[in-house]
Structure 1
Amino acid sequence: MENRKKVAFYTLGCKLNFSETSTIARSFQDEGFDRVDFEDVADIYVINTCSVTENADKQFKQIVRKAMKLNDKAFVAAVGCYAQLKPEELADVDGVDLVLGATEKFKITDYINDLSKNDMGEVHSCEIEEADFYVGSYSIGDRTRAFLKVQDGCDYKCTYCTIPLARGISRSDTMENVLKNAREISQQGIKEIVLTGVNIGDYGKGEFGNKKHEHTFFELVQALDKVEGIERLRISSIEPNLLKNETIEFVSQSRTFVPHFHIPLQSGSNDILKKMKRRYLRELYADRVAKIREVMPHACIGVDVIVGFPGETDEHFLETYHFLNELDISYLHVFTYSERDNTEATEMEGVVPGNVRAKRSKMLRGLSVKKRRAFYESQIGTNRTVLFESENKEGYIHGFTENYVKVKTPWNPELVNTLHEINLTKIDEDGSVRMEFVNVPV
């Protein structure tokens, strides 16, 4: 038996990165490598980087050090968004042998002929204009759900964002391939698929490198709803201006799409939204939330918001706070603005001091806790369907209802990756919800 090489992966950032790591991992397995955990000794460590937060940049060095501690002769490769934006910077990190940009990362096995350490990281990265082809991918995070990539890149020019620089133009998978991947996932016994992309509401554009929409996001949703064997489909983040009434209405009647939306707001102040070059104003956002509530009163609505954007005064921040406080939403993801090279926002006046950014972030995180609690309370006494996860956490098994309420019940391995009708009974001290089975599982 030949000595097979071992490869390990570490993913920073979003669900999209996780789906791409899985695809890259499968290409290694096709070449005869064995995949092991990142905590194990491996011959190659592949780190899929992120550029959205300051934090992800710093984490990279720590992860390289961790890999080198496990095996100081291991070959270390960096791929992903940060590798596209600042390849030389990553190549300079002690221990890094290879840095691949946006188009090269899916051909990584072509670059790994010789696993000897390099004195200096070797860089292969494209001009981002060359990232005009599409590579489909999906990941199986655990046994219960998979992230299915349907779109990549972005044509929006938000003034704080490096994603278009890191991932290129908006382009999509073919409908045929998305449906093929969805069927493959369902055949593996996975019950839930989460649709991911950079700007998934823009799905259909550039399928063949052009700007014409071959299909719309709504048509994709309709087609996926018919795929046999999938119990649940969840839409990840979608821009408010691209979330149309027809999609909301379809989800409310759908066989598989769940009543859970995650819609980036970024600011509740129209002045700041304009400075950010977002493609809507707060009135449209409030309208989207009202529409969802009208047809799905029990839906879960998550919101992304950025604090401390240049020029955000106390008045602007309070506008955001009050807007969100009055809005019927379920939780917030709060991001503290951080300066990114080559973005318009770094040139703007009115830099918000770090301590003010931190204070505003804390206020919105507190509001999120209040919102989630109120949403959970509104669900007590209702019957929902839960999909149980695979982990035993301190003697409990957790799961999520279709409308994203986190529930817990005493650990029972037979419940893993199964769906059950339950009644939500009370909120526990840890914030999750206790439940009773409506139909006692056999």
Structure 2
Amino acid sequence: MIDTTVFQDKTAVYYTLGCKLNFSETSTIGKILREAGVRTARKGEKADICVVNTCSVTEMADKKCRQAIHRLVKQHPGAFVVVTGCYAQLKPGDVAKIDGVDVVLGAEQKGELLQYLGNLQKHEKGEAITTATKDIRSFSPSCSRGDRTRFFLKVQDGCDYFCSYCTIPFARGRSRNGTIASMVEQARQAAAEGGKEIVLTGVNIGDFGKTTGETFFDLVQALDQIEGIERYRISSIEPNLLTDEIIEFVSHSRSFMPHFHIPLQSGCDEVLKLMRRRYDTALFASKVKKIKEVMPDAFIGVDVIVGTRGETAEFFEQAYRFISGLDVTQLHVFSYSERPGTQALKIDYVVSPEEKHQRSQRLLALSDEKTQAFYARHIGQTMSVLLEKSKGNTPMHGFTKNYIRVEVGSDNSLDNQVVNVRLGDFNGDKTALKGTILI
């Protein structure tokens, strides 16, 4: 048994870097500490505990993690500092050496954080507690809202794909998941807490079911039955795992939104082979075509990496032409970052930082063009929008079913409410359409 009396009236701050999954897990860690008697520190208040949930998707992410740790140690002198997440799993020794860090927890330990806090006495030097990647087995459930309108339901963790540029399988372990029954129960709890929208998160969510003998399609069908949850969004799903039956189901689903996020990474087949991706451009194009056939107004977000080893100028131009011709809505563009221990380092051709930047800017410009054209097609339509509370007297924002961001006048009584809105023209910075609420 853990003696929680030591945590009574203690305060904590939380800092998260990286993906939606990390934010969901941090929120769950916060809930565990709150139940033990720890409250979140107020702005400007010195905390007793600092929790940093790290990312390691790029070299810049590693650097931001170190900067965040240094900053929190300085802002909260004497606090017990816990570091977890992907950077902690990959480089536990390096993190433990950072001044002020007390405990470094790996992927297997983060869900049991409470038992590693002891009596909150500072350590003379940081202690790293991790499990070898091959031995990571646990699945730590997480369904959290934090301070957002949407809930994030973690349905899967880890990855078996080992793409040549990626360290996630080493940081997160092999693919694993909870049961559909447990996911349904968490969704019901979210509904009981007033949640109307749930985003399904994970590392490779289409791979759901590896450890339980179920499938992602089974999960989608079960969640669609939950009363009270009006909207689900599938956060990111590999194109080879996005089956036609899933697409068809979403097209007539009660609550799954016409909104897809599909990682492409490159629009050139030669580069996809170097990346060790499990599809080609023809398969990707067929998935986009299928979605648009049954859901013409679906929002499709696409991840693209520029400047990977082996991406010659000719290969990039092929990729650009392919992406330009896709009927997608938005590009999430990332510059390739060398990661120690990855197979990509064996590829000879290296793209300069300047060229990576130029390629990134071209794709970002293409993304803006596609997104604004998609938004413009909906001006004048009436659509349902789930509104989110605004800060101060700033406008409220929310999203349509197909993920168009909408801006309306501030009325916080409408927080977490679905209302009908007539969509007008773009706002000042073209990040949303201005809307008129229809009573």
Quickly name the TM-score band, shorter chain normalised.
Answer: over 0.9
1:163 aligns with 2:168: yes
Shift of 1:65: 2.4
8 A Cα contact 1:142 1:390, kept in partner: no
Decide which of 196, 208, 216 is 2:201's aligned counterpart.
196
Number of the residue aligned with 1:88: 93
TM-aligned CA distance change 1:37 to 1:247, over 3 Å: farther
> Any conservation in 2 of the 1:9–1:37 contact (CA below 8 Å)?
no
* C-alpha distance 260-40 of structure 1, shift in aligned 2 (>3 A): farther
Equivalent residue number for residue 435 of structure 1? 435
User: What displacement does 1:308 show?
Assistant: 0.2
Aligned partner of 2:38 in structure 1 is 33
Map 1:343-422 onto structure 2 (within 5 A): 343-392=342-391, 395-422=394-421
Deviations 1:49-71 (A, max 9, x none): 01112222111222222222322
Alpha-carbon distance in 2 for matches of 1:101, 1:42: 23
Structure 1: tracts of 5 or more residues without a match = 208-213
Judged with a 3 Å threshold, the aligned counterparts in structure 2 of structure 1 residues 127 and 39 are, in CA distance, closer, same or farther, namely farther
TM-score (norm 1): 0.95
1:12 is displaced (CA, Å) by: 0.7
Q: Choose 400-409 or 1-10, whichever is displaced more.
A: 1-10
2:22 to 11, 17, 22: 17
Helix, strand or coil at the partner of 2:260:
strand
Given that 1:303 and 1:329 are in contact with CA atoms closer than 8 Å, whether structure 2 keeps it comes out as yes
Query: What is the match of residue 210 of structure 1?
Result: none
Report Cα offsets for 1:217-263 as digits up to 9, x if no partner. 11110100000110111000000000011111111101111000000
For 1:40 and 1:232, locate their aligned partners in 2 and report how far apart those are by CA, in whole Å.
37
Report the Cα offset of residue 173 of structure 1: 0.9
Query: Cα distance 1:362–1:5, how it changes in 2: closer, same or farther (>3 A)?
Result: same
- Mapping 1:25-424, distance limit 5 Å: 25-36=30-41, 40-207=45-212, 214-392=213-391, 395-424=394-423
State the Cα RMSD in Å: 1.5
SS of 1:278 mapped into structure 2: coil
Q: TM-score, normalised by structure 2?
A: 0.96
Report how far residue 117 of structure 1 moved. 2.2
1:416 Cα offset (Å): 1.1
Aligned residues between the structures:
433
Flag the 1:344–1:33 CA change in 2: closer, same or farther, 3 A: same
Q: Residues 37 and 201 of structure 1: is their aligned pair in 2 closer, same or farther, counting only changes over 3 Å?
A: farther
Gaps of 5+ in 2: none
SS of match in other structure, 1:286: helix
Query: Structure 1 stretches (4+) deviating beyond 4 angstroms?
Result: none
Instruction: Specify the alignment match of 1:211 in structure 2.
Output: none
Q: Is the 8 A contact 1:10 1:38 kept in 2?
A: no
CA distance in 2, matches of 1:234, 1:159: 28
Distance 2:307 2:254 in 1: 41
Question: Partner of 1:242: helix, strand, or coil?
Answer: coil
What is the identity, as a one-letter code, of the residue corresponding to 1:123? A
Q: Check 1:37–1:259 CA distance in 2 against 1; reply closer, same or farther (3 A cut).
A: farther
Cα distance change on mapping 1:40 and 1:391 into 2, 3 Å: farther
| Whole-angstrom distance in 2 between the partners of 1:192 and 1:95 | 39
